[in-house]
Amino acid sequence: MIQQKRHDAIIALVKHQGYASIEQLTRDFGVTPQTIRRDLNALANEGLIRRVHGGAGLESSTVNTAYHTRKTLNVEAKRRIAEYLAAQIPNHASLFINIGTSNELVAEALQYHQGLEVITNNLNVAAILQHKEDFNVIVAGGQVRSRDGGIIGEAAIDFINQFKVDVGIIGISGIDEDGSLLEFDYQEVRVAQAIIQNSRQVFLIADHSKFHRNAVVRQGRITQIDALFTDREPPEAIRRLLDSHDVALHIAPMSSEA
């Protein structure tokens, strides 16, 4: 079994059982304990599982990974996706950019554009783009989350509802096999829903780790978006949903192919 298929199978098994030991995984996959340990360490580094003594368990579905940790997870993949997404945005477009580390990388990639109007509830996005004299950057009012600079609450929702933009760019914490878009904070979800409702097109940015991740709050469905930007082929169930609802799938090329 090739490494990627084994990784996917390990994730599925841990998700099904809640915990899997190194002994069990060694037996099930016919590889050495050293190989399984490397697999588990790699998956834990991507935030896909939780490494525990003697095996692996599930990440929490109620508490998100710390912001400073999320900024380092899959950063190269996220950057490739962000640059690929940014290349689809025309100059002089109007945008919503939501909370999230991937969205902040999109903002970095958009600095080479001209004449954008950007409405954001992410203070980090505003800080990245504030030096662009030909951009009009508008920041939503509301409650600022100290942990990540996200702006949430009723005031942010009311503010976003005043606009209708060309493209809404959103991230997500997890994508369930049934197509549910999942988050950890219901207040963040309500702001994201307002962005979806007030965008002519909705672009979702999600690296491959989001396809195996659980979170407790449902933000919406993947069928509500117009395009998914990621770095690997989604699971078959997700791919069928995208195809049946005419959601465009964009897989960012490797750097050597770009």
pLDDT along the chain (258 residues), means of 10: 86 82 92 94 84 79 66 87 98 97 97 97 97 97 93 96 98 93 92 97 94 86 97 94 97 72
**Amino acid 256: pLDDT:** 47
Angle at 84 between CA 44 and CA 199, to 5 degrees: 100
Rounded Cα distance between 47 and 41, Å, is 10
**Amino acid 215: pLDDT:** 83
- 139 backbone dihedrals φ, ψ, rounded to 5°: -105, 130
The end-to-end CA distance of the chain, in Å, is 29
Asked if 196 and 220 count as a contact pair (C-beta separation under 8 A), the reply is yes
Rounded Cα distance between 101 and 67, Å, is 8
**Amino acid 60: pLDDT:** 63
Asked if 180 and 221 count as a contact pair (C-beta separation under 8 A), the reply is yes
Least Cα distance to 151 among 138, 162, 163 occurs for 138
**Amino acid 213: pLDDT:** 79
